[in-house]
Amino acid sequence: MKFVFVFDGLGCGGIERVGVDYCNALVERGHEVTAINLVPESNEFVSQLSSKVDYIARSFPRSLAPERYCTLVKRAAWGRFVYPIVFALCSAVVLIKKPFLRRGLGSFDVAVAFSGHYNDLTFVSSSCVAATKKLAWLHGGVSGYALTSDGYLNLYKKFDGLVTLCNDGIEEFEQTNWFLNFNFRKIYNPISISPAEVNKADIERLQNQYGNYALMVARLDYPHKDPFTAIEAVRQINENYGYDLSLVIVGDGPDRLKVERFVREKKMDGKVFLAGYQDNPAPYYGASRLVVHASAGAEGLPTAILEGMAFNKPVVATDVRTGPKEILGFNEFGILCRPKDPCDMARQIASLLGDQAAYQYYASRAKIRIAEFSEDKAIYSLLSFVSDLFAASPNDSGDK
């Protein structure tokens, strides 16, 4: 089967990492896979694509997506008059560019708008790439997207199927929007990272470099990720609880300078280490004491939580909608803390550091939970969904 995955950039982030894993896993199972990057300058993860995956760069910024401007209607009275004009202009531009965007791409069985942003959703739904079936990936609850903008719902109508990472809000959404006939399928993200990738020398090197540390792997982009809460929590752990714990943050992003300034203000220069983007974060997980994940906004299924659990590390994560609770349950497989509350995060981390039985309990529970996120299960679920779509309408060209 021929798949094309369309991305709103392939920079360093959880969505991009999972998308690359899907591409590599499918091509290794004998499928033909093409990855299209709509933001060519965002390309840190391109190097992680298998050589068997065809990589294509096509510039298609979010500003071209007509539905992106749907929120104008909510902003002011003039928005309801401006929006139709902007929509028509953007639609005309997309229509003109479409033959050039399609040139040399060929046709596919399945096109996947994987980032779930306005540009990749528009690129696929407008048939800027020819495909029989179209899938959109939702990296958060559908209700959250609906509240953000009706533009998402207008785009979803053009897809054959919608992949969600959790069931949160779907029943409520379907009751409220009974007139919409969306085809949802929950598929957990696959996790391919493994302790087998790490050697003992790398672990010893990192432990000698950073000492006893908590690990946060995140793009530095508030409020999507909240390193400030994690930094303050570690400061309180050391100052108020008497522990000697460092914090290593793997990742980069637009807020790096703000994070560096915050570290200096809190006088945590010797305890917080910004390791930047790492092509292979596996050794950092292996050498860590535990994993923390802080966000001030809604989440899908945070890759960093799953990767930490793959290394049997206890996880403390902020309880934002919807992903952390989907993974950790109600403190069943990890510990949830209140968002933007460093005192609560510090208290929960201290409960692990001060109780070896609790630490071992969550380490063992992580191993059990991560089995649900295996690569084989994710690929099987995706192929089953695609098979069901073709069985439901085998003669539908989908290229509309």
The pLDDT tens digits of the residues spanning 330-366 come to 999 999 999 999 999 999 999 999 999 999 999 999 9
pLDDT at 399: 58
pLDDT at 400: 47
User: Does residue 55 register a pLDDT over 70?
Assistant: yes
Q: Where in the chain is the domain with CATH 3.40.50.2000?
A: 2-190+374-392, 195-373
Overall average pLDDT of the 219-246 stretch = 97
pLDDT at 297: 85
In this prediction, what percent of the chain has a pLDDT beyond 90? Answer: 86
Residue 393 confidence class, pLDDT cut points 50, 70, 90? confident
More confident residue, 262 or 301: 262
CA distances from 141 to 25, 137, 165, 181, 235 (A): 25, 11, 8, 17, 33
CB 144 within 8 A of CB 321: yes
Residue 324 confidence class, pLDDT cut points 50, 70, 90? very high
CB 343 within 8 A of CB 239: no
Say which residue the tokens 């309180």 belong to.
236
pLDDT at 30: 98
Q: Which of 156, 131, 128 is nearest to 142 (CA)?
A: 156
- The rounded mean pLDDT for the chain is 95
pLDDT at 396: 63
CA distances from 3 to 109, 229, 265 (A): 6, 40, 49
With 0-12 / 13-18 / 19 or more C-beta atoms within 10 angstroms meaning exposed / middle / buried, residue 331 is middle
**How many residues does this entry show for the chain?**
400
Q: What is the architecture, at CATH level 2, of domain 195-373?
A: 3-Layer(aba) Sandwich (3.40)
In this prediction, what percent of the chain has a pLDDT beyond 70? Answer: 98
User: Does residue 398 register a pLDDT over 80?
Assistant: no
User: Does residue 295 register a pLDDT over 50?
Assistant: yes
pLDDT at 174: 87
pLDDT at 279: 87
Structure tokens belonging to residue 327:
């993974």
User: Does residue 397 register a pLDDT over 60?
Assistant: no
* pTM of the predicted structure, to 2 decimals: 0.88
Residue 383 confidence class, pLDDT cut points 50, 70, 90? very high
Fold for 2-190+374-392, please state it.
Answer: Rossmann fold (3.40.50)
